[in-house]
Amino acid sequence: MEKRRLGRTDVEVSALCLGTMTYGEQNTEAEAHAQLDCAVDFGINFIDTAEMYPVPPRETTYGTTERHIGSWLKNTGRRTDVVIATKVIGRSDNPYIRGGGARLDRKNIEQALHASLQRLQTDYIDLYQLHWPDRNTNYFGQLGYRHDANDEAIPLLETLHVLQDAVQAGKIRHIGLSNETPWGVMRCIMHAEQARLPRVVSIQNPYSLINRSFEIGLAEVALREDVGLLAYSPLGFGVLTGKYLNGQRPAKGRLTLFDRFKRYTNPQGEQATAAYVALAQAHGLDPAQLALAFVTQQPFVTSTIIGASTMQQLQTNLNSISLSLSPALLAEIDNIHTAHPNPCP
């Protein structure tokens, strides 16, 4: 498994990262442990989770994913074999998370970090990420930015000072962002340089054949500032496998079970997906592996986050690492992208 440097640190992570947000919802604890065993034995050393997982979030399952990973770490003793990334939620009024009114301030971050450490059964977290910004901005499918002059967000500088204290205490090693914008990334870098605060090492945003919006403003930032992308939803919640085409709804598919992800099933997205699936088949390739290889091959990507609800899906996704797309095939992909630009942001 290829390893890549995490930001400007000395940490090297696998080019594929095991995503875990199905653990506790679509996957049992035993299935989660089996996936972790399989992925780590394959060569993956990077595991991504979050305090709010599994998704979709519910009070009865909140934190379960971290608990499943924690029990695996305890049972196997493989803590030093893996790089653990988790996330603290951004602004939220969800009543079952710290009583509602969660913010990226000292009180909330310290409580969230303590709870994540307990659930993961570890003394430190390798990469602690802000799951989404505290301020109102464009993320989770919103492309256009709508400014709110009255927004009273926790300043990024304040948040970074809290994270600095956690780094100095040895509770986290490095910090990252998620669902962030170019302004947010550059602001964090500016604060780090001016106030000697921890420098962000990564950004976890969506990126796939049907959502290449990261390329517009963030790719240059990622490359010039060494804040590599941890690409989530590289299969568009499974859409790019082709299993939802022509109205198909497989019984255990995520989009069949949960209707909150409709942005991946719009008509323009289906047209683009059909074109990418046809392209893969014309070249004798698995559509999922084509989609994953495209993401992993991008120069601004540090790691592609793969998730699966079955071992068969996991094996398919893992084996995408051996696929290298030729310049001619990449040109064909770009032709489809030109005809169907970013249909599922």
Classify 265 as helix, strand or coil. Answer: helix
| Nearest CA-CA partner of 86 in 36, 42, 120 | 120
Q: Which residue is associated with the tokens 């490359």?
A: 223
276 a catalytic residue: no
Contacts 24+ apart (CB under 8 A), 277-282: 277/240, 277/242, 277/245, 279/329, 279/332, 279/333, 279/336
Is 130 within 8 Å of 177 (Cβ atoms)? Answer: yes
| Nearest CA-CA partner of 1 in 12, 11, 14 | 14
Rounded CA-CA distance 151/158 in Å is 16
Catalytic, out of 53, 232, 264, 276: 53
| Nearest CA-CA partner of 127 in 2, 304, 7 | 7
User: Which residues are known to be catalytic?
Assistant: 53
